[in-house]
Structure 1
């Protein structure tokens, strides 16, 4: 079981009955797909998957598509590992959740000394390499030295799984100065749950058709851009081949000229040598 998570929820690929799941081209109209969805840890563990969407990192609350989540609570533990740091978050929802902070190895300049750090960079075994924390999607450097047990913070990231237990893969965070900040987050989270998540997402057939047309138009634009890129690539390759051919011909002509000069010089040398030999016989 994942470290510090106190639940046994299992992933579901079967959607709830009676819900309409819309195609991906409808997601631009979704109130949840392109936003940081405020959730409790217990509701993150209740997110489901739907057959046909595997590999897209899309989860569903009812029929709402979700890819980015936001949680707030107190850090109750921190575990250091070679490739990641695991934080355990307690948001008072009845279930904890792990927050995964990824690391990557970076090279140090030869002149830069290695210093052991407990924050954004941790000294590695290799004296010329250190580990730094990075965000889940943009892979930018992330300083998490302030994220220690007892700290209250708000976390944003994507949903991942370890041994069938959902985790938050950290993208960014904000420290909350006190419980008031956490309670305001609870209010916003509850309001979003009641107003949005608890109500199944619904589109009229006319809206779906309009989104399909727009999606088809975008797909056509993507195809045109792709073809334009291919044509541009082919044009560059043709121009490069033409330049190489011209360079080759220029080199051949220069070589032929040099060969002609060398031939004439050799003939001249032979004539001079023959005259010297004749002069010597006399």
Structure 2
């Protein structure tokens, strides 16, 4: 087990790395040599080859085993480097075609209909429809394949590009994927698998592996102090900008809350003024009514003031 190197650069220097942003052609033994150093990328553990950060790898070898599980397939690849590796690929959902009756059952049903109704035209139309069924199915398949070709999407871990019918035990493949871990075992999460058709393609892949190890991995990744300081300042600038954006949003939210409170206070003030106006109006009406009673007494008051007998009425 290799020891973790001490010259690991922080993640803000990864933009200068010759390995993290590309497909690294490696041997299977090199993939198993990758180690984690406590750094993360996209919320996943980031692996290192010596002090080179590695995220995407590419291997070439022969499929020696295929295991099927629910929702995925595991291809075991051997590149004759001394070790094998498991490549996990998310499998497409199984096709769920609607069950259809066999043609002879349809013909029997048509004959029964003729015997019951005495109409032979139904049989002729059924036979014609069944004869055209093959052509319609072929047209649907062609249209479906064209639709799939027009709606191509970039392959990913969740939707890998794998020729499922071509890859089997004994197939020489080129696998591209992301380094993963399952029960402390290094795996490759497949993004793309390509079946190699000839030996020339395989030899070209091996030459790329040797050249990559000779030109990149054989030497430690070195970042100068000036470049590291420049990357650090760039990261701090991004963090300040993000913090400023969060502060600006907080200030905006605070201003919005203050405006809401101010409008609420104004609304309560208007309601209170309306209630005071209504109360003063009611008091004024009561005061005017009391004055009117004194100046203009009612008939009952006048009768009580005149006495029980009126002089004109005797």
TM-score (normalised: structure 1): 0.62
CA distance change for structure 1 residues 141 and 196 in 2, over 3 Å: closer, same or farther? closer
Q: Match of 2:107?
A: none
From 24, 27, 49, give the equivalent of 1:37. Answer: 24
From 12, 15, 32, give the equivalent of 2:4. Answer: 15
Deviation of 1:223 after TM superposition, in Å, equals 3.6
**Correspondences of 1:1-282 after superposition (within 5 Å):** 14-16=3-5, 19-53=6-40, 56-103=44-91, 113=98, 137=157, 139-140=158-159, 142-145=161-164, 146-225=166-245
- Alignment coverage as a number of residue pairs: 204
Deviations, residues 159-183 of structure 1 (Å, cap 9, x unaligned) = 1122222110001122221121111
TM-score (normalised: structure 2): 0.56
Deviations, residues 1-25 of structure 1 (Å, cap 9, x unaligned) = xxxxxxxxx7x7x503xx4111100
Aligned partner of residue 77 in structure 2, secondary structure: strand
Q: CA RMSD in A?
A: 3.4
Structure 2: state its 5+ residue gaps. 101-153, 265-314
CA distance change for structure 1 residues 42 and 141 in 2, over 3 Å: closer, same or farther? closer
Higher gyration radius (CA): 2
Which has more helix, going by share of residues? 2
Task: Report if aligned partners of 2:66, 2:169 keep a CA contact under 8 Å in 1.
Answer: yes
Structure 1: state its 5+ residue gaps. 1-9, 116-133, 246-282
Query: For 1:147 and 1:225, how far apart are their aligned partners in 2?
Result: 50
